[in-house]
Chains A and B, each alone.
Chain A
Amino acid sequence: MTNSFGAVYYVFGFVVTLWLVFVSVLARLQGRACSRSTVFGLGAGVLVLSLLPLGGLPVWRWGLSIWPNPSVPFVGLICLALWPRLGGSAWFAPSDRRATWLFGAVAGTALAVQTLSPVAIDLYGGGWEGATAVGVTALLAVVSFARGNRFGALLLVAMIAWALGALESLNLWDYLVDPVYWLVSLGGGLRTWQTRGRACRCSPPLTPITPS
């Protein structure tokens, strides 16, 4: 990160991610949803934990050491998942979330394949091309909004975050997708696929057409 806004964004992204993990794990262990006061308490605890020094660095800086550029859509999804647990109403419909996971899986795979396998194409390089990269991102957002999908809002915020220098990377693609978002999207996609597969297998057989 190159400015104080970047530090605030990083701490925010780190804290909400850890917060959601703790809330989810505790709910699973209890076998029921956490109460609102518990959720708030965990949030405060995670914030304090993130600022505590560990091995000469605040805990959040250990996160920065291995996950330097949390993307805006991922942080947005985390916030959208936390919000109902804090008593708010859901902002994203399932189709909005699916679009966000699909984008993370596709965009993340494209960038990872380019980095890890021998393909003669420099996709990541496109993210340095200011106006072109912004144009592509804006087009995706407009298409999303035109279809009534809220995923475009995350792309819109990502463009603003890029203009403000929220991440240490100057590449716009890093604002749109990151490796954690990519892997979680792939996992989410796989789970959805498995769930649908089970649903198909469990659905009642078609009634045979009996000749009259």
Chain B
Amino acid sequence: MDMDMARDALVQEARELLVAMENALLEIETDGASSEAINAIFRAAHTIKGSAGLFAFDLIVSFTHIVESVLDRVRNGKVQIDDAMLSLLLNCGDYIGALVDAIQNRTENEEPDAARRVVLEKQLGAYLEPPAEAPAAAALTATAKEEGPQQIEGSGGVSSDNWHLSLRFSPDVLRNGLDPLSFLHYLSSMGRIVYLHTLTDNLPPLSQLDAEASYLGFEIDFDSDADRAKIESVFDFVREDSQIRILPPHSKIDEYISLIALMPDPGRLGDILVRGGALTEVELEQALQQQQGQEIGQKPLGAMLIEQQLVPEPVVSAALSRQKQNEEKKSHEQKFIKVEVSKLDQLIDLVGELVIAGAGANLIANRKKDAQFEEATQAISVLVEHIRDAALTLRMVPIGEVFQRFPRVVRDISRELGKEIELIVTGAETELDKSMVEKLADPLMHIVRNSMDHGIEGTEDRVLAGKSATGMLRLNAYHESGSIVIEVSDDGRGLNREKILAKAIERGLVTPDHNLSEKDIFRLIFEAGFSTAEQVTNLSGRGVGMDVVKKNIESLRGEVEILSQAGQGTTTRIRLPLTLAIIDGFQVMVNDEVFVIPLDLVIECVDLAGHDARHNIVKLRGEPLPFVRLRELFELPPIQHNRESLVVVQFGQQRAGLVVDRLLGEFQAVIKPLGSLFSGIKSISGSTILGDGRVALILDVPHLVQQTAQQQHSLTQSAVAGLLTNNKTTER
């Protein structure tokens, strides 16, 4: 029911707050303590406690309470925030996270890790001072007694050590989903309720009772070390239309007078106050006397109880900022609606079908040669295209979602390794498909760990090498021709070619007489079971990881490459297609077969005739371009046909040509996966359905580009060089 939704909302809110808290902690660590960051942490802990308190999730409330108390002391400058405390608070954040998980799993009454909690609480306890002794105030009563009412009004405080809370909740509080009982529960987490009186005066006869309105009032005497703002904050959610009066210990007696004056029957409240120990009999007597005296003096009692007078300045501003927060939250809520991923997937499936059906209609229109019909289908297909793009962007999320967990990771690992490492994140707003975000997290984690562990040197080595003592790790993301590129760079020692090669030969991955390019050598580290680290650390170096990284990335139809310069650093570059569902395709034809090339990867189309094409290399504007004839690649029968077109495609930094018979133009292709029967075929990445119902194959351009590049390489420099010199001589 509603409770479930509220619970989900609580969990989500708590998670967001924990992220905010972690960010603020890391900010303090890098930039030093700022009151803003400390406040952010405090707010996060406080709000989590507050919301959990409303649900009476006591485990999380009691734990967060201790964290909050420590933070409060930091905020008040009683304790300095230091390194050890930062680590402790990060750990506490993790533990609160575990408690939040427990709420989500509905096991909120079980301690996720009792031993850990004890340790954390003990560490937290070290930052808390032993409870201060309540200042003795008995003398005050004595003076009050002797010096009469006038004096009391001026300076006298009552003798009670307790707070007095007078609560009249708004009638709507229950309807708003808030139960006064929860507030009292929560209140009792901050101290001890010494005395509580429930006022039922407003309760109408049963027949006239609105069962969903709140009629109860409470007078509470409360023993707590909390400050006023904190007690006030218990009632943040209801402050607006409820009457909440909070009298601190040893309040002036006239504050009690004004409280009493608000009651229809002053004597009764006075009685309650005395019973709860807020006032002594003598104090009450004085108060009542004084009240009467003032009435005679025609001083309106109400004037004494202007809320602002009772509430000190900081409380007002706290209330204001709270309100502002609420407003911001509201506008935040309006900006987003939560949608189940499955619904989104369904929508995208439907759009896919729409695209196919639209292509069919287009085809018929073209055949009918009906200008009006063609125009109509044209308009529809433009709209379909827009819908497709809009639907796909629904699934796009900023990669920052993945990146945001790394500051903490980098911090923890650099501690563990005793290295100083700074993390720079750029391009966090670059968007990619949600499904990829989830699958990217692990590979990225591996790469980052590898970079920190093996790439970046220890401080001493860095200084010796003439580099800055602090290592730099950089996460970057950007879009490039239909792909998203994610880079993890470090400024460490770089990959050691010789070592990798030696290891590969030792493992039998390559033979010594292999003549490998630098790129090929670096690629070796993605082989299963390959690790050159002399020393296996608990982070990486076990030889699992990089091959898993490669597999994960390839399963997303992406590729990963490594650029490295000895002594300068290493960059691991992951390139992924932007979407997995629908693409703009470019149709080409060989014999009667239609093939589709992702349009984003097509650079240009040229007529092959009239170009110098030999050994699968064509000279295009003076540059050699390797190409492949699709007819040969797919072993289609040759036909008598002398016009051939060259489609130039690019993937990453490499280009290649594909030779086809005819160019058919653009086409929206809904990617359908190939059956497992075709899993061995490397040159095809999927299939799609054409408007007339035929199936067309989608070319795996990244693979083809790589293949042609390798071909070019294996032709060896001599042939290419010969070709080039030939060309040059003929040109001149």
A binds B: no
* Chain B residues near A (Cβ < 8 Å): none
